[in-house]
Homo-oligomer: A and B are copies of this chain.
Amino acid sequence: MRNGKTTIHDIAEKLQVTASTVSRALNNNPRISDATKKRVQKAAKELNYQPNNIASALRSGRSKLIGVVVPTANRNFFSSVIRGIEEIANSLNYKVVISQSYDDYEKEMQTIEALLNVQVDGVIASIGKTTENVDHFKKVIKKGIPLVLFDRVTNELDVSQVVIDDYFGAFQATEHLIQEGCKRIVHFSNSQNINIYKERKRGYEDALLKHGIPVDPELIIFSKLQLEDGRRCMQEIIDSKIIFDAVFSSSDYSIMGAMQVLKENGYKLPQDVKLVGFGDEPFTSFTEPTLTTVNQKSIPMGNITAETFFEILNQKDQSNTLSKRTILKPELIIRNSSLNTQKK
| Residue positions of A touching B, CB distance < 8 A | 50-55, 57-58, 63-65, 72-76, 79-80, 82-83, 86, 90, 95, 97-98, 100, 102, 110, 114-119, 227, 256, 259-260, 263, 282-283, 285-288
Contacts and interface: CB of A to CB of B under 8 A. Distances in A.
- Chain A to chain B: the 3 pairs with minimum beta-carbon distance, closest first: A74-B79, A283-B283, A73-B73
A236 to B, nearest CB: 18
Nearest to A57: B54
A52 B55 CA distance: 12
Interface centre among A57, A75, A110 (most CB of B within 10 A): A57
Contacts of A52: 58, 119
Contacts of A57: 54
A287 B259 CA distance: 10
A72 B79 contact: yes
Contacts of A76: 74
Number of copies: 2
Contact of A80 (B74, B256, B282): B74
A53 B283 contact: no
Contacts of A80: 74
Nearest to A257: B286
B114 A95 contact: yes
Between A90, A98, A285, the greatest number of chain B beta carbons within 10 A of the residue's beta carbon is seen for A98
A90 B110 CA distance: 10
Given A79-B74, A260-B286, A287-B286, A54 B58 contact: yes
A27 B116 CA distance: 20
Nearest to A73: B73
17 contacts: A50-B116, A52-B58, A52-B119, A53-B117, A53-B119, A54-B58, A73-B98, A74-B75, A74-B79, A82-B100, A83-B100, A90-B110, A97-B98, A259-B286, A263-B288, A282-B283, A283-B286
Given A54-B63, A97-B95, A79 B90 contact: no
Contacts of A95: 97, 114-115, 117-118
A101 to B, nearest CB: 11
Contact of A54 (B54, B256, B259, B285): B54
Contacts of A74: 73-76, 79-80
A54 B60 CA distance: 11
Contacts of A65: 118
A95 B112 CA distance: 12
